[in-house]
Amino acid sequence: MTTGVYIHIPFCHQICNYCDFNKVFFKNQPVDEYIESLGKEMALAVSKNPAAYKEIQTIFLGGGTPTALSAEQLERLLTLIQTHIPMKHVIEFSTEANPDELTIEKLRVLKAFGINRLSLGVQSFDTELLKKLGRTHAPEQVIETIRQAKEVGFTNISIDLMYGLPGQTMEQWQNTLNQAFALDLPHYSAYSLIVEPKTIFFNLMNKGKLPLPGEDSEAAMYALLMKEMEKRGLHQYEISNFGRTDFESKHNLIYWDNDEYAGFGAGASGYVSSTRYTNHGPLKKYMDCIEAGELPIHHEHDVTEKEKIEEELFLGLRKTAGINKQHFYERYGKQVHDVFEKQINSLTEAGLLIEDEQAIYLSHQGKFVGNEVFQEFLID
């Protein structure tokens, strides 16, 4: 059963130096036409498979930058979502946002149309590092935007932070954490920089012009992050996510629980009725498909039972709760040890996994090498 909906807004007023998501500069783009195409895609998908959309619980607007849209464009987009997506069971309606684009007018539109969670791309409170990242906001704008969001009535607010940045010191990271905690928010996400192909950072790295902290420094930053979050009662429920009880991201938990979700928009991915798919990325190709009355799917793959089981471990071990053994048995009709006994025993002996009666999960040490642990569960 599909329980989540992801909607991709590919427009940005500024392209960040580290971003590899499907995005285009806002200027001179068919933004209004794209919004109408999104509405048509949602209508077409729901009409083709209405049973899959009966119990949608979360909706997430991502990008790109959803708040690159004007207040009027946001209102049109949200109207189309409410028209075509069954909203009866939705408990979390989130949007990503940039601090320097989220005006009081836009905040009021978001609130009026039922959005109840904001995820702000802050990344750092260090002006020098923000410039290196290609971010256009100032630290003061983060504080003011959050003040306005609370004034409008938002209580579920999260910010994204990044560490392992070019030239970043432990002192800069500690200062960013201190300023983030001063905002007294119920949720924080923090990610180490991954230099992806086709980004400005990737080109700089290949030229030897990207002075990244070493592995030891990055590990020290992650250790500090976990320590500071725990000290403030922010529960680490996933490798990179921390929140107070009941403020965990319900939409992202759909991914980590290996549940199904729909993806709408150019370049969006989805997982519906045991099929993973990706939409066409180029705007014209995406919109032409929809105008022809076709779903804009570029690639789809029917997920095999073996792949589902691999993904269950690969994704589920990201959560600090790990893999619930009874849930695994109920979903796949076999014990997790029947499939992965060798890997579980080896990783437990190495101190990277912990197993108790109910679950299997990463140890503290395992969190530092999560990707290496996950790869052990690729069956072939």
The CATH number of the domain where 352 resides is what? 1.10.10
| 95 and 218 inside one domain | yes
Residue corresponding to tokens 């796949």: 332
Is residue 288 domain-resident?
no
pLDDT of residue 200: 84
Which of 255, 271, 303 corresponds to the end of one domain? Answer: 255
How many helices and strands (H and E) does the chain possess?
15, 17
Is residue 32 domain-resident?
yes
pLDDT of residue 97: 96
Residue type, 294: E
| 28 and 110 inside one domain | yes
| 229 and 129 inside one domain | yes
pLDDT of residue 20: 67
Is residue 198 domain-resident?
yes
| 236 and 349 inside one domain | no
| 9 and 129 inside one domain | yes
Is residue 339 a contact partner of residue 309, using CB atoms and an 8 Å limit?
Answer: yes
Residue 244: domain span: 2-255
Is residue 234 domain-resident?
yes
| 208 and 341 inside one domain | no
Residue corresponding to tokens 């409410």: 82
Is residue 219 domain-resident?
yes
Is residue 281 domain-resident?
no
Tell me the backbone φ, ψ of residue 298, rounded to 5 degrees: -90, -40
Is residue 277 domain-resident?
no
| 230 and 348 inside one domain | no
Query: Strands of 241-243's sheet, edge to edge?
Result: 235-238, 241-243, 187-192, 157-163, 117-123, 92-97, 58-63, 2-9, 260-264, 269-272, 275-279, 297-302
| 84 and 224 inside one domain | yes
pLDDT of residue 82: 98
pLDDT of residue 283: 97
Is residue 192 domain-resident?
yes
Which of 255, 274, 290 corresponds to the end of one domain? Answer: 255
Domain count, the chain: 2
Residue 204: beta bridge partners?
A: none
Three-class secondary structure of residue 255 per DSSP: helix
| 222 and 351 inside one domain | no
| 88 and 195 inside one domain | yes
The CATH number of the domain where 99 resides is what? 3.20.20.70
What is the pLDDT tens value at each position of the chain, 380 positions in all? Answer: 889 999 999 998 777 767 767 667 678 899 999 999 999 999 999 999 999 999 999 999 999 899 999 999 999 999 999 999 999 999 999 999 999 999 999 999 999 999 999 999 999 999 999 999 998 899 999 999 999 999 999 999 999 999 999 999 999 999 999 999 999 999 999 999 988 898 888 888 888 888 999 999 999 999 999 999 999 999 999 999 999 999 999 999 999 999 999 999 999 999 999 999 999 999 999 999 999 999 999 999 999 999 999 999 999 999 999 999 999 999 999 999 999 999 999 999 999 999 999 999 999 999 999 999 999 998 66
| 21 and 114 inside one domain | yes
Tell me the backbone φ, ψ of residue 109, rounded to 5 degrees: -65, -45
Which of 232, 255, 278 corresponds to the end of one domain? Answer: 255
- The closest alpha carbon to 246, from 119, 156, 361, 120, belongs to 156
| 55 and 179 inside one domain | yes
SS3 assignment for 116-137:
CEEEEEEECCCHHHHHHHCCCC
Tell me the backbone φ, ψ of residue 21, rounded to 5 degrees: -75, 160
